[in-house]
Amino acid sequence: MPARNAAASTIRDATPTDIPHIHRLIRGLAEYENLLDKFTATEADFHAAVFGPTPRAHAFLAQPAGGPPVGIALFYYTFGTFGCRPNIFLEDLFVEPAYRKHGLGLALLRALAQRAVAENCDRIDWHVLEWNAPSIAFYQSLGATRMTDWHVRQLQGDALQALAAGDPHA
């Protein structure tokens, strides 16, 4: 079995040949979050999103020496108008269960923080499910703060379609 610790692993940018690993790891996250019924993305979808003509997302992978990637940080850029600076939104952070508590999640977040600092980003944002106590404790240990003055909202499905179509009730 490959080494499980961060020191014996590489954190690297994903490449097009990593698409099967990206797909597998994000599916693993969906399973962990009990959202597998919402997981509809294909390998082709990930290829288009990360490596298509207009990349919409980027990914770092945690890869132990001698083995396949076992962790992922999938992210994209947003923009903060008040400071007129870019931000990074961490969409997904996942490490396979057998490799947790060995520093790989921290190594992925460190790589993301290094990218944010190098690119003069103002901050990194992400969401965490309320029931995910281990992740919340981990993020708190890093100094991440909970936003209490904001409510997260989503517009999707029929409501999104109705608004796009000009529905006066939207």
Catalytic residue among 32, 76, 77, 139: 139
Q: Does the annotation mark 32 as catalytic?
A: no
Task: Sheet with 9-13: list strands edge to edge.
Answer: 9-13, 58-64, 71-80, 85-95, 124-126
Residue 72 CB contacts under 8 Å (≥ 6 apart), including other chains:
14, 21, 22, 25, 26, 29, 59, 60, 61, 62, 92, 93, 94, 108
Contact of 61 with 72, CB cutoff 8 Å:
yes
Closest CA to 28 of 36, 37, 17, 38: 36
**Active-site amino acid positions:** 139
